[in-house]
Amino acid sequence: MNAPRNWGVRIAGTGSAVPERRMTNADFTAILDTSDEWILQRTGISERRIADPNAESTFNLSRDALQRALDAAGMKGSELDLVIVGTLTSEMPCPSTAVRVAAAVGAVPAGAFDISAACCGFVYAMNVAETMVRSGRAKAVGVIGAETLSRVTDYTDRTCSILFGDGAGAAVLVRDEDPALGCIHQSMQADGSRWESLYLPVLPRDVPESDLQSTVRLGCLRMNGREVFKFAVTKFREVIEESLAATRLSANDLSQVICHQSNIRIIEAARERIGLDPEKVYVNIDRYGNTSAASVGICLDELTRAGKLTPGLPFMMVAFGGGLTWASSVWSTRGA
Ligand code: COA
């Protein structure tokens, strides 16, 4: 690794991968007491992608997303010196998903590790990767947010199960001679005293007292939907406003605010309070549901491929999730 110097950082390419299988709201009505109208109105979700447990995994979705990002960048895996995967659904605690992805794209002996920050995984990973490239400690980093939440979803819990989907989003970050390029503001925060709002118990002892009266399925996500909703509506607005104040930008100076796709009502509430134009807040939750750490990465890839990130204008990524965690990342980009 090279001596520290203040480099600029550029997103050289993005990619994403989602499972083949679509699970529609109508599919849920066959297994749960729910309806298409309820799900659509309360969440904005029409369908989500669900991994085939025999053929699709966090590992291979991550690998495919990163390979597409490398292809878009015109780079080889061997040019990466670090791979970071944000996920809460790594197949195994050891090895990490990142080491297998790095090997699969030909990046050995790049450093590789997973970040566990729930739905903030991609934004946390982008912030860490950007800092590594900016400081000169890394030349090129593959960043991935990926989940197979279907593996940890209790399909008898109608509040939780209808929300989640599987997928992966990736970006390749490279150094640039212009230090003005890259992340101009980042935040990564957490409040672990509120973990009971959204957690994934492994052993009976993990179940908090507040949940002892409920039916809890070990190995599956548990969520207090109303608590998370209240937290998210306030936090989204606060994080966006803090990031705007820190960068002295106004909301409409940004080409996009890329929000974690948690619930359309949460995104809309923040958008309206801040006064952002609807076309500046990308939404794909209708097609993918909440893909946790993957959601911001998938949005970033779709926006990039659709040419919706205006060259020369900054954009913001913002997320919140289990932990509770929240994070933002504001990027400046090169003009056309
Ligand atoms: N279909 C039909 N009814 C449902 C339902 C479903 N899938 N899920 C819950 N309900 C019912 C509840 O049982 C409740 O019935 P009751 O009044 O008879 O008790 C009623 O709908 C209202 O429940 P409530 O929890 O208040 O609904 P809500 O409007 O808050 O919507 C969520 C529920 C989960 C969609 C919403 O709370 C939410 O999105 N929370 C944030 C989740 C999130 O973002 N999590 C990820 C964080 S990264």
For the chain, the structural domain boundaries read 8-179, 183-332
pLDDT for the residue 2: 47
Q: Pairing mode, if any, of strands 198-199 and 325-332?
A: unpaired
> What mean pLDDT is predicted for residues 112-130?
98
Question: Which residue did the predictor score with more confidence, 169 or 213?
Answer: 169
In angstroms, the CA 64 to CA 104 distance is 9
In angstroms, the CA 70 to CA 12 distance is 8
Rounded percentage of the chain residues whose pLDDT exceeds 90: 93
Judge whether 8-179 and 183-332 match in fold.
yes
Token pair, residue 136, equals 């000169």
Residue nearest to atom 3 of ligand 1 (CA): 34
Is CATH 3.40.47.10 correct for 8-179? yes
* Each residue's pLDDT tens digit, 24-46: 999 999 999 999 999 999 999 99
- Asked whether residue 141 carries a pLDDT value surpassing 90, the answer given is yes
Is residue 229 in contact with ligand 1, taking CB distance under 6 Å? yes
Atom of ligand 1 nearest to the CA of 28: 7
* Each residue's pLDDT tens digit, 86-118: 999 999 999 999 999 999 999 999 999 999 999
> Is the previous residue joined to 109 through a cis bond, with omega within 30 degrees of 0?
yes
Residue nearest to atom 9 of ligand 1 (CA): 159
In angstroms, the CA 258 to CA 21 distance is 25
- Asked whether residue 292 carries a pLDDT value surpassing 60, the answer given is yes
Is residue 263 in contact with ligand 1, taking CB distance under 6 Å? yes
* Each residue's pLDDT tens digit, 242-271: 999 999 999 889 999 999 999 999 999 999
pLDDT for the residue 1: 47
pLDDT for the residue 319: 97
Considering the domain 183-332 in this protein, what is its CATH number? 3.40.47.10
pLDDT for the residue 4: 55
Distance between Cα 212 and ligand 1 center (Å):
20
